[in-house]
Amino acid sequence: MSSPRFVQIHTLSSYPAVLLNRDDAGLAKRLPYGGASRIRVSSQCLKRHWRVAEDDWGLAHVGAPMAVRSREVVEREILPAIAGAAPDVVEAIKVALVKKLFGDKNVDIKSRQALLLGRPEIDYLTQLARQAAAAGGAKPAEAAIEAAIGKGDGKKNLAAMREVAGNLAAGLESALFGRMVTSDPEANTDAAIHVAHAFTVHAEESESDYFTVVDDLRRLDPGEAGTAGIFETELTSGLFYGYVVIDVGALVDNLGGDRALAARVVEHLLHLIATVSPGAKKGSTAPYAYADLMLVETGRRQPRSLAGAFRKPVPLASDDLLGAALAALRAHLESIDGAYGAPEMRAALCTAPVDLPGVARPGSLDDVAAWAGVAVRAEAT
């Protein structure tokens, strides 16, 4: 078996009475498609939940250093290591590091953008801060940092750390989802995992949820309403199509050529995609669900989404919404195969009876994830 260039993951997941991803007005995010408004979950929201999931298949258990995204990484992660130094020395080190990481105009926290730094990078900078603090004064401390990561025009600082901290200096999240550093373009990493915005396969379903908060100490005397507030929020329901592409070559490169690590990443990621739910208002909506369908394809040609299966919204009047969506997906996949051929290998899990072209029989999540991992482990030929 030769290693695939791409792994494609298609999912269908159902959520009733939730508010998974809100816009700036507090309403559910939407997108127009096929002449109908759909409820949407942004790719940023999905990736965030996969990054921070704390279960047996969390990325933290892959066996690679993680990362921290923050605009206060210097103050919260590095400076505590030199808390015993003189205040002017600490301030000099802080300013020097902030300028190197965020740019000269971003000493004030409020003016910075969040920066993704790998644990090896943070450890290196912490060690550097300790050495600078021992240099003997504010000026020597600043000069020590300048000498270590301020060569030339002061750019390429994070990229240069790779020589010290290794290929995964920027952390696993950067290797998977990429990193953009406006003040240091040489430190940018292209994403190996490409994530589409999930959307409902049918027209939007939403309602305005009117609710009150009861004041326990009001005794409903004459003239007392008994409420401490009246509120309103939006709730939506939907069957969402999700699509993720893994660029296997880019993933292996970003992981320093470690194909076995790339395979573990793929196995963990498939579990996360199928079982980790995005969602706000957890206390009042319990927005947890597992995917009803996960179709995984491996191959060497350019990927293509199957979103076109739902360009015509699945009718909400259907007695079996999932069955209708599966039928639409199957028909679209058959038409794509008929026009372009079907060189991809396929595996799937499904909670309902389904006959997808190229899939011998649906398996369990463990089976599908292990199958994809074996494909990624294979050496390219």
Picking from 167, 182, 216, the residue at the C-terminal end of a domain is 167
* Average pLDDT for the chain: 90
Q: Where are the alpha helices (DSSP H) in the chain?
A: 43-52, 73, 87-102, 119-133, 138-149, 157-165, 171-177, 248-254, 259-275, 282-285, 321-340, 365-377
When pLDDT is cut at 50, 70 and 90, the band that residue 165 belongs to is: low
Residue 161, pLDDT score? 65
Q: Based on the fold, state whether residues 360 and 251 are members of the same structural domain.
A: yes
- State the pLDDT at residue 154: 46
Whether residue 155 lies inside any domain: the answer is yes
Task: Say yes or no to pLDDT of 272 above 90.
Answer: yes
Q: Which residues pair with 345 in a beta bridge?
A: 298
AA letter at 180: M
Please check the confidence at residue 162 and state whether its pLDDT lies above 60. Answer: yes
Specify whether 313 is located in the same domain as 340: yes
Query: Is 223 within a domain?
Result: no
Q: Are residues 351 and 259 in the same domain?
A: yes
Q: Is residue 233 part of a domain?
A: no
**Residue 151 falls within a domain, yes or no?**
yes
Angular region, 220: left φ>0, alpha ψ -120 to 50, beta rest? left
Residues 359 and 286 occupy one common structural domain: yes
Q: What are phi and psi of 64, to 5 degrees?
A: -135, 150
**Residue 104: its pLDDT value, please?**
79
Reported for 43-51, long-range contacts at CB under 8 A and 24+ positions apart, including other chains, are: 43/195, 43/196, 43/197, 45/20, 45/21, 45/278, 46/195, 46/198, 46/242, 46/278, 47/177, 47/193, 47/195, 48/278, 49/276, 49/277, 49/278, 50/269, 50/272, 50/273, 50/276, 51/173, 51/177
User: Do the beta carbons of residue 18 and residue 288 sit within 8 Å?
Assistant: no
Q: Phi first, then psi: what are they for 208, rounded to 5°? A: -90, 120
- The share of the chain scoring above pLDDT 70, in percent, equals 93
Same domain, 41 and 96: no
Computed on alpha carbons and rounded to an integer, the radius of gyration of the chain in Å comes to 25
For the chain, what is the largest distance between any 2 Cα atoms, rounded to a whole number of angstroms? Answer: 83
Q: Do 333 and 197 have their domain in common?
A: yes
Structure confidence at residue 89 as a pLDDT band (50, 70, 90): very high
Q: Are residues 29 and 158 in the same domain?
A: no
Residues 26 and 75 in one domain: no
Asked, for residue 50, whether it belongs to a domain, the answer is yes
Q: Report, as an integer, the average pLDDT of 46-69.
A: 95
pLDDT computed for residue 117 by the predictor: 92
Residue 370 sits in the same domain as residue 245: yes
Say what the pLDDT of residue 31 is. 96
Q: What percent of the chain has pLDDT over 90?
A: 73
Q: Do 296 and 198 lie in a common domain?
A: yes
Q: Are residues 245 and 372 in the same domain?
A: yes
The region of weakest confidence among 156-160, 266-270, 275-279, 369-373 is: 156-160
pLDDT value at residue 182: 67
Number of domains into which the chain is organized: 2
For residue 193, name the pLDDT band (cuts at 50, 70, 90): very high
Measured distance CA(58)–CA(64) in Å, rounded = 12
Within a domain: residue 221? no
Q: Is the domain of 12 the same as that of 94?
A: no
pTM: 0.91
- Dihedral of the CA atoms 352, 353, 357, 358 (nearest 10)? 80
Query: Domain for residue 38, yes or no?
Result: yes
Over the stretch 301-353, which tens digit does the pLDDT of each residue have?
999 999 999 999 999 988 999 999 999 999 999 999 999 999 999 999 999 99
Range of the domain at 289: 6-58+193-204+240-377
Mean pLDDT confidence for 243-255: 96
Backbone angles phi, psi at 298, to 5 degrees: -120, 140
pLDDT of residue 3: 81
